[in-house]
Amino acid sequence: MAQYDQPIIIKKVKKKGHAHHGGAWKIAYADFVTAMMAFFLLLWLISMTTPEQKQGLADYFAPAALSVTTSGAGGVMGGNAMDNSGNRMSGSSADVIEAKPASPQSADQGTTEIQIGGPARQQGSEQQASSDSEFNLKSLDNQAFHSAAASIKQAWQSLPEVTPFMDNLLIEETEEGLDIQIVDQQGRSMFPEGSKYPLEPTRAAIAAIAPILQQLNAQVTISGHTAAGGRYDNPRYGPWELSADRANVVRSILGEFGMGEDRVKSVIGRATDEPFFPNDPYMAANERVRITVLHAPPPVPVGLKP
């Protein structure tokens, strides 16, 4: 009877799925695809470049102390010379000093090479230094002119009476320097018809640029221009007189508001000689005054006193 009282044990086995293997292979495959893409892109770029571009790339990655010359017979260096003192072409003064002359004549020639080569190289260095200095000065001028152009635009935008005439005020940076033009538009003039005196908004716009031009160490040319087909009541007063008078009045306003007389290089009237639109000399925009700020310092240095 004791056997019937023994408990019955039931064992249940649960099957589990396979363990997660991770995604490292995906990262490795992505890196492989990226590398292949970069490789084929490199092949495509190489096939598209010209021999000159390839040579430029090779020169860019060449050692800094390697100098390319046309002399030499090839080989590993390909006619190039390596020097501890930096870039120097074969046949320079150091090479001539170390070489032993084969005859008295060649020795004299070697001495002549040394005597001529030294000053020539010094003169070349001076010319290079002078060229670098001129380049730096021009770069500084360009920055100053760029800043002046931005300042002039800000000065105009800050004047409520000038804001409606912003389309009549043009400013552009050119190879000569800075080109400022006050032009007429159809139905919106900057000068009364036939008058040499500007309107009040025009006067305010001219006055705003005077202090900015004074800060530039440059000369200014002012030219007046008229459109073709104008009518003049006085037969002795025509486009030449009007354009010259307008340019001179602009010069006077600039001087009144801070620009020195030493900044003015020339004041001239062009009449209809140089229209803004050569294909249509009758357009209103040909009626204008042009102020050109040149890359040239004034004849009298700033701060010089007698």
pLDDT digits (tens, 9 = 90+) for 28-60: 889 999 999 999 988 888 888 788 777 777 777
Better pLDDT: 233 or 87: 233
Domain spans, the chain: 143-294
- Is the pLDDT confidence value at 92 over 50? no
CB contact at 8 A, 290 and 171: no
- Please provide the CATH number assigned to the domain covering 143-294: 3.30.1330.60
Mean pLDDT of 207-212: 96
- Is the pLDDT confidence value at 283 over 60? yes
CA dist., res. 210 & res. 254, Å (int): 5
Mean pLDDT of 77-88: 47
pLDDT digits (tens, 9 = 90+) for 241-252: 999 999 999 999
The pLDDT, as a whole number, for residue 250 is: 97
Tokens found for residue 272: 């209809």
Cα 157–Cα 161–Cα 167 angle in degrees, nearest 5: 60
Nearest-10 crossing angle of helices 104-157, 200-215? 150
User: Where is average pLDDT lowest: 167-176, 253-262, 287-296, 297-306?
Assistant: 297-306
Better pLDDT: 14 or 234: 234
The pLDDT, as a whole number, for residue 51 is: 81
Q: What single-letter DSSP state applies at residue 225?
A: E
Tell me the pTM: 0.55
